[in-house]
Structure 1
């Protein structure tokens, strides 16, 4: 089995024109591990397998056909994540690791979140949450702001796994931790970022009108766009509010917020600001999301955008994957199941764990299977992988 796994790793690596050194660096594993796996001398464990798969932009099951997937790992970790935040308001433990070390680990978790690596996040989240909370309770002076930021970043990474795997109650509790941590410091940009994440609870509940009210209130409290960070934070809030308005069937509000986001993005380069990607490309992706959410007469415009433009590597993998899921839905609604399947394959190549947990992707594959009179091997394989059969 190890020989086969090693051969697959080597084949995928060469197809992406990566050296063994490149793969080790991108996967955050040792060069000796990569060499050993490819020779068949070593068998990667679950976390190493997922890290290598992420660096190769494939699902772990592409490398190890017997791999059971990420779902079991995430669900196994959820109770430990819950326990880690059970008494978040209290100083339960003294810091056990230096702040700089926790910061470096949280930065890695943020990168995993942006790349939709939920399995890796879930296994590290309990310790990261405990470490970050311990530092916040012990911190004074300028260190307090940095520690609060760590708590928010760690909770947001854990929330990504909880939310995507349907643990919405835990997701809401993690957002409560983020909101509490934001009150420990005087930073309106941080509070606005937390409001952006909080919108998940309304999207999960399909309480779009209530979510729209909450987001518009957050915009009223958000800082003026006086610098790159505050401009990006405000722009990201407008992007999310535009999608919420579209889900609430309010096109006027949706287009209004989308235009505000576009204006704020004009002077910025695409980047990640306080954990959220923002810039012209992110706004374009959200434009497609708004158009697809509005449906009907707006689908043609979404398809036009997709014909003229596609997101590049300046955008995190999860968001690029989401773009192709939105495009696939528009293509399917317009009567183009083959093109929709191509888009879903593109989404899978970018962030397989994200696609596998996305309800729209599963629904659309089910519909494509019904529309196709003779299933191709590729479509059947995809449907089995995503759980649509």
Structure 2
């Protein structure tokens, strides 16, 4: 039940049904509401991850209140995006009194960090209303700028972001990490590790099969499985970090050519290049690439497949662990998983729901696909069920929402 106030969840790029694909805020808020805890999601009316720009103001999304704060539109990563970030922080402070009237004074203010620059505004709101201040770390900043984007460590933005990171660790009442191996890094940056909490990405309750829309990709999976092939599905982005080209290369090996096919669904800057790779390798009868489909259609697609594939280009920053949504989607669908990721954690090995392979080794990936394809169906099903049980135990939003309510319980301590 409510501890005397609402939860204000600040997420500059919040999604949800009909809003955008990054729907963690929506599912947490629904779980909190089911427990009698009011909350509101505070996000930008314009950002690059929205399905469509939203009008500024309050909107109820399947009973979850969203406040879309007015921010300017932008394209790319230039000055327009910086102006959008600054405007979002300004609007949080500007609308604070109205938000308190409309949604109740907060007991807990959570600032999530797809970028960290709204933290100072979130902390100001927490102090203004006497609420507990939580910093939710989705990505490590400024390390992401340096190790992924290649920005110099001496760059003013990196220096400012480093100061902001240390300030957030020093002054937050609690720090929530979506990554499992960050405790020591945060301690070195000034965090008292008694205030460190691991609350990873999650999965919502699965929809009934009859509620899920069909797609051309799912029909292709069914057709290939009817021919006796195992079908590996990759559902996600097609960018350089995702390393999907290695799956295509693996499918050209003898074992996958004889026993398996692959369906790739999503969007990204490398989609055309992947299509060209499929054609160059003569894989048109073994690999098909489809545009992104709605999340509900992805769920149905996964239920038709034999295995799920996930890969990430090796990066030093993955030493802090990964928490990819698509991995948990595969597990929830009871799919065996081919985990071509080198990171500080390995959920697939931990629960025995698939095979872990080096992300750059196409021959090893091909061997794993062949091994899965040759498994008896019952053995594959057992492997998938282990992943399903693991994700329900550790990544269900009911579990994650409860962990947040435990932080809220500290507010009166």
Same fold (TM over 0.5): no
Choose between structure 1 and 2: higher strand proportion.
2
Using the size of structure 2 for normalisation, the TM-score is 0.26
Greater relative contact order structure (CA < 8 Å, 6+ sep): 2
Using the size of structure 1 for normalisation, the TM-score is 0.27
Choose between structure 1 and 2: higher helix proportion.
1
